[in-house]
């Protein structure tokens, strides 16, 4: 039962923590995910912009070159001399006859024919006024050459450009673009996987969380534009705050669980104590009852045989004693209950204190005699006092009962009493038993406490001392344990209502 509930508590605890943690994680990661997605979206957009600009740039180059088809030979000559981008210009008619230049070396002529073959010339363009143009890549001794071609109704234009100049112009264009974004690093990768040009903060490249890629248009169709960026996740502050909250909740939950466990343990202990109390009381009740029944039987038999028998007298005494013990026990239990419920009322009567002492001691005398214990009384209290004599007798009786049970090796019990200046009656009861060790001096007054809680030990309810103290306090006094060289020494003080 005890372990089960603890386990339950533990499960509850981990479950709560788990749920809170999971929820928090979910929440933050969801937010992170959202931020990431929107950022990638934004990156895509700005990359699209760069890609568009580059496409426009490359298309404008195409446009420039396409104008050669309508230039005069001298204009073309001039361009070749002046424009470092233009390496060769060759123009054929649709019958593949050379129009420009006037003459070609046979080697160049062969190459130019191969160029013509690599573009699919449409013979029927006369019906279709749209001019077609594009690039193709020509490999000459493993060197890439970009060839631009353009076709209109009657001519085919071929331009071999200076690749390096084309690249230089492209780099100059890129370097002059205001397409620097603070949060990104861009690279242009050529068709062999080599970095062609790059720009941005190199820190971003080194700590990039993601990269996206776009392709370029011809003649750089094998090339790509790569965009590196970092995720701006939840600010570290709010992340830290979240961590603090989670840790705080964990600590709080731990404390609550600890308190709950402690409470549970105490309840458990009290239940156990009650259980053992019932056992003890039942045991206590059983002994005098057995004696009463035994002596009652004996008495019945001896009255039948010989009335007026000495044995009968003895049996009656024992029956009286045991009955007293029973009623004391029951009184204790009842008064304990009343005390707990605050319903115990005192009934003060005018009493001769000497008689009261004698009456309190008398029930124990047969037992004390049996253990060869002498009782020494030194009473200096005024004869007439106003007390609740039942309560006083019960207090003294509880002390004596303890002596009978736990200190029956004593030879003398000293009982002294006097009045103090405050009008209180002080009664000191001292035995010669084993005494009470200092470390448990306070605990002996706790209800159900017994110094040795083995059932085999002397019987006891564990109520006696605590009840006695409560009664003494109710009676305007106290019950305290005094220091003593040998045995236990208790001081009862009670208020004399008369004084």
Partner 1 sequence: MVKQMTRLLQTFMALLTLVFFINTNASDAKKYNPQPKALAFDVALSDVSIMAGSQQKAYLNINITGQPSGTRTKRPQTNIAFVLDKSGSMSGLKMTQAKQALEMAISRLHDNDVASLIVYDDEAKVLWPAATMQNPAQLLNTIKSIGANGSTALFAGVTQGSYEIKKYLDKNKVNRVVLISDGMANVGPSKPHELAELGRALSKQGISVSTIGLGLGYNEDLMAQLAGHSDGNHYFVENADKLANVFDSELGDIFSVVAQDININIICKGGVKPIRILGRDENIFGQNIKTNFNQIYGNQQRHITLELLIPAGHSGEKMSVADVIIDYNDATIKKQISHNNLVAVTFTDNQEIVEKDKNPLIYNNVNAYQANEMSKQVVDLRDKGDLEGAKKLQSLNISTLSKQVSSSKFPSKLKEQLEQEEQLLDSLDDANWNKARKQVRQKQHSIDTQQVKKDDNN
371 binds partner 1 (CB under 8 A): no
CA–CA separation, 373 and 245 (whole Å): 70
| CA 217 to mean position of chain CA atoms | 57
| Binding piece for partner 1, criterion CB under 8 A, among 114-122, 194-202, 282-290, 357-365 | 194-202
Which of 102, 182, 308, 342 contacts partner 1 by CB under 8 A? 102
Least Å distance, CB 206 to partner 1, is 11
| CA 143 to mean position of chain CA atoms | 67
| Binding piece for partner 1, criterion CB under 8 A, among 48-56, 103-111, 243-251, 461-469 | 103-111
Which of 126, 202, 254, 442 contacts partner 1 by CB under 8 A? 202
CA–CA separation, 96 and 74 (whole Å): 21
To the nearest 10°, the Cα dihedral for 131, 137, 138, 142?
Answer: 170
Least Å distance, CB 102 to partner 1, is 7
222 binds partner 1 (CB under 8 A): no
Which of 175, 178, 282, 485 contacts partner 1 by CB under 8 A? 175
Least Å distance, CB 223 to partner 1, is 12
Show Cβ contacts of residue 430 under 8 Å, excluding neighbours closer than 6 positions.
413, 414, 415, 484, 487, 488, 489, 490
CA–CA separation, 56 and 355 (whole Å): 126
| Coil, strand or helix at 97 | coil
178 binds partner 1 (CB under 8 A): no
Least Å distance, CB 202 to partner 1, is 6
How many CB atoms within 10 Å of residue 136? 15
Closer CB to partner 1, 203 or 411, in the complex: 203
Binders of partner 1 in range 125-154 (CB under 8 A): 143
Per-residue tokens: 153: 């109704």
| Binding piece for partner 1, criterion CB under 8 A, among 15-23, 95-103, 270-278, 369-377 | 95-103
491: nearest Cα among 388, 418, 437, 422: 418
| Binding piece for partner 1, criterion CB under 8 A, among 12-20, 64-72, 160-168, 306-314 | 160-168
Cis preceding-peptide flag for 219 (omega within 30 of 0): yes
29 binds partner 1 (CB under 8 A): no
Residues 474/464, Cβ–Cβ less than 8 Å? no
CA–CA separation, 355 and 383 (whole Å): 9
84 binds partner 1 (CB under 8 A): yes
Least Å distance, CB 48 to partner 1, is 22
Binders of partner 1 in range 411-470 (CB under 8 A): none
- Count of residues touching partner 1 (by CB under 8 A): 27
Least Å distance, CB 60 to partner 1, is 18
Binding mask 54-83 for partner 1 (x = CB under 8 A): ---------------------------x--
Which of 35, 40, 99, 167 contacts partner 1 by CB under 8 A? 167
198 binds partner 1 (CB under 8 A): yes
7 binds partner 1 (CB under 8 A): no
390: nearest Cα among 343, 333, 423, 348: 348
Which of 16, 46, 66, 163 contacts partner 1 by CB under 8 A? 163
Which of 108, 132, 264, 414 contacts partner 1 by CB under 8 A? 108
172 binds partner 1 (CB under 8 A): yes
- Longest distance between any two alpha carbons in the chain, whole Å: 170
CA–CA separation, 149 and 156 (whole Å): 7
Question: With b meaning 16 or more CB within 10 Å and e meaning fewer, what string describes 196-221?
Answer: beebbeeebbeebeeeeebebbbbbe
CA–CA separation, 142 and 14 (whole Å): 69
CA–CA separation, 367 and 383 (whole Å): 27
Residues 493/432, Cβ–Cβ less than 8 Å? no
| Binding piece for partner 1, criterion CB under 8 A, among 3-11, 101-109, 275-283, 305-313 | 101-109
Residues forming contacts to partner 1 in the complex (CB under 8 A) are: 81, 84-85, 88, 101-105, 108, 143, 162-165, 167-168, 171-172, 175, 194-199, 202
């Amino acid at each position: 039962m005890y372990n089960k509930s603890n386990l339950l508590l533990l499960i509850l605890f981990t479950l709560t923590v788990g749920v809170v943690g999971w929820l928090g994680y979910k929440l933050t990661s969801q937010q992170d995910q959202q931020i990431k997605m929107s950022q990638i979206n934004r990156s895509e957009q700005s990359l699209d912009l760069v890609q568009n600009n580059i496409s426009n740039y490359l298309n404008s180059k195409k446009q420039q070159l396409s104008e050669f088809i309508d230039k005069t030979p001298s204009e073309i000559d001039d361009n070749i001399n002046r424009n470092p981008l233009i390496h060769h210009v060759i123009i054929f008619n649709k019958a593949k006859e050379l129009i420009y230049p006037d003459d070609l070396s046979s080697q160049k002529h062969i190459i130019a024919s191969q160029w013509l073959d690599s573009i699919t010339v449409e013979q029927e363009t006369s019906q279709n006024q749209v001019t077609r143009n594009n690039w193709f890549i020509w490999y000459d001794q493993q060197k890439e050459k970009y060839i631009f071609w353009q076709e209109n109704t009657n001519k085919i234009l071929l331009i071999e450009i200076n690749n390096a100049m084309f690249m230089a112009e492209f780099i100059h264009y890129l370097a002059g673009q205001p397409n620097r974004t603070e949060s990104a690093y861009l690279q242009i990768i050529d068709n062999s996987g080599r970095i062609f040009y790059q720009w941005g903060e190199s820190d971003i490249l080194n700590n990039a969380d993601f990269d996206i890629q776009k392709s370029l248009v011809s003649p750089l169709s094998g090339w790509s534009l790569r965009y590196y960026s970092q995720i701006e996740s939840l600010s570290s502050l709010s992340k830290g705050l979240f961590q603090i909250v989670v840790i705080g909740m964990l600590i709080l939950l731990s404390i609550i669980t600890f308190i709950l466990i402690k409470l549970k343990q105490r309840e458990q202990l009290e239940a156990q104590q009650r259980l053992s109390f019932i056992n003890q009381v039942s045991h206590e009740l059983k002994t005098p009852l057995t004696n009463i029944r035994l002596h009652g039987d004996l008495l019945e038999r001896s009255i039948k045989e010989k009335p007026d028998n000495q044995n009968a007298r003895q049996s009656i005494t024992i029956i009286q004693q045991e009955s007293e013990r029973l009623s004391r026990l029951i009184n204790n239990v009842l008064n304990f209950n009343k005390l707990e419920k605050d319903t115990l009322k005192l009934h003060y009567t005018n009493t001769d204190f000497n008689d009261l002492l004698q009456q309190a001691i008398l029930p124990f005398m047969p037992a004390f005699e049996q253990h060869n214990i002498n009782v020494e009384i030194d009473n200096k209290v005024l004869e007439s006092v106003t007390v609740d004599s039942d309560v006083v007798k019960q207090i003294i009786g509880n002390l004596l009962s303890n002596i009978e049970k736990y200190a029956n090796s004593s030879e003398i019990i000293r009982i002294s009493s006097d009045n103090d200046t405050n009008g209180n009656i002080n009664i000191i009861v001292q035995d010669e038993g084993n005494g009470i060790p200092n470390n448990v001096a306070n605990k002996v007054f706790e209800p159900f406490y017994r110094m040795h809680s083995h059932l085999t030990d002397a019987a006891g309810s564990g109520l006696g001392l605590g009840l006695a103290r409560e009664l003494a306090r109710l009676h305007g006094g106290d019950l305290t344990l005094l220091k003593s060289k040998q045995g236990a020494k208790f001081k009862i003080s009670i208020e004399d209502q008369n004084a």
